[in-house]
Amino acid sequence: MSEPTFTLDGDDVPFTEGQTILQAALGARRYVPYLCFHKDFKPHGSCKVCTVKVNGHHAAGCTTPARAGDVVESQTEELTELRRDLVQFLFTEGNHFCPSCEQSGRCTLQAVGYELGVTQGHYNPLFPTRPLDASHPDVLLELNRCILCELCVRASAQVDRKHVFALSGRGLTKHLVVNAESGRLGDTDLAVEDKAMKVCPVGAILRKRRGFTVPIGERTFDKAPISQVLVAPHEED
C-alpha cells in the first residue's frame, strides 16, 4: 500500500503514521522555518515560527499531526510575514550582537532571520540587562542571546538526567535559570559532554577555549542558506 500524503504548497508530501507536518516536510527535504523544534525531542510548540496553514487554519507545523488529504500552505507571503515578525521580536527582546558572536554563521536564529529577509532591526530594541555567567570552568552562559527555546532544559532533563536548566518567570520576565542555590552555572554538575551543551540553536551556551575553530566565512550558513542545509548545526548527531 502506498504511503498517505498531504499537499504542501501544492506538492504531495508522504508521511508515516505519527509524524507531524514539520517532520514529514523535513523528511521530504522541504524546508519549513522553525526554532524550538529538534529532531531528538518531543515538540512542544513554543516559538510558533513553524506556523503553517492547514486547510485554511493556522497551526504549528511541529505539533500538528500529518493527515492524509490535508492542504498545507507554508511558503506564502502572509506566513513569511508572520514568521518574520516573530523572529524580529526575538531580536528585539534579547541582545543579539551577531558580528561579535562566536556562533555567527552557524546560529539558527541568524540563519532563519536571513531566510525570512530580516536584514535589520524592525522594532525598537529593549536592550535588557542580562548577566553573563562565566563561573563554570569549561562553559560560558551568555543569557543575552537566549531565545527561551527550552532545548537545553529538555536535553538536561531527558538525556543527561541532571536538570541543570529551567525557565522561570512569565512574559517579558521569562528567563533561563540554573539549578544551583547560588544561581551560578559553575555550581551545577553540567559537563561539556552533556547533550545540553550541543542543542542550543544560538550562542547562549558556549564551550570555553574553543572559539572560532572554523573561521567566519567558512561556516555552515556562510556556505548555504538554512532552507538548503535543513539540519542545523545544533541538530547534528
Which residues would be at the binding site for ligand FES (CB under 6 A)? 34-37, 45-50, 60, 62
For ligand SF4, the closer of residues 74 and 144 by Cβ is 144
For ligand FES, the closer of residues 36 and 101 by Cβ is 36
> Is the separation of the CB atoms in 3 and 11 below 8 Å?
no
For ligand SF4, the closer of residues 116 and 190 by Cβ is 190
The distance of closest approach from Cβ of residue 234 to ligand SF4 in the complex, given in angstroms and rounded to an integer, is: 8
* Binds 54: which of ligand SF4, ligand FES, none (CB < 5-8 Å by kind): none
* Binds 49: which of ligand SF4, ligand FES, none (CB < 5-8 Å by kind): ligand FES
Provide the grid cell at 214: 572554523
The distance of closest approach from Cβ of residue 162 to ligand FES in the complex, given in angstroms and rounded to an integer, is: 24
* Binds 86: which of ligand FES, ligand SF4, none (CB < 5-8 Å by kind): none
User: Strands, DSSP E only, in 126-221?
Assistant: 132-133, 139-142, 165-168, 175-178, 205-207
* Binds 45: which of ligand SF4, ligand FES, none (CB < 5-8 Å by kind): ligand FES
User: Strands, DSSP E only, in the chain?
Assistant: 5-8, 11-14, 51-54, 57-60, 71-73, 132-133, 139-142, 165-168, 175-178, 205-207
For ligand FES, the closer of residues 5 and 46 by Cβ is 46
* Binds 59: which of ligand SF4, ligand FES, none (CB < 5-8 Å by kind): none
Q: Cell 541532571, residue?
A: 162
Which parts of this chain interact with ligand SF4 (CB under 6 A)? 146-152, 176, 199-200, 202, 204-205
The distance of closest approach from Cβ of residue 165 to ligand SF4 in the complex, given in angstroms and rounded to an integer, is: 6
For ligand FES, the closer of residues 33 and 185 by Cβ is 33
> Is the separation of the CB atoms in 20 and 43 below 8 Å?
yes
CB atoms within 10 A of CB 143: 17
For ligand SF4, the closer of residues 61 and 94 by Cβ is 94
* Binds 200: which of ligand FES, ligand SF4, none (CB < 5-8 Å by kind): ligand SF4
User: Which residues, in sequence order, are CB contacts of 161 under 8 Å at separation 6+?
Assistant: none
User: Which residues, in sequence order, are CB contacts of 95 under 8 Å at separation 6+?
Assistant: 125, 127, 128, 130, 144, 145
Q: What backbone torsions phi and psi does residue 156 show, to the nearest 5 degrees? A: -65, -40
First vs last Cα of the chain: how many Å apart? 32
The distance of closest approach from Cβ of residue 43 to ligand FES in the complex, given in angstroms and rounded to an integer, is: 6
Pairwise CA distance, residues 98 & 131, whole Å: 18
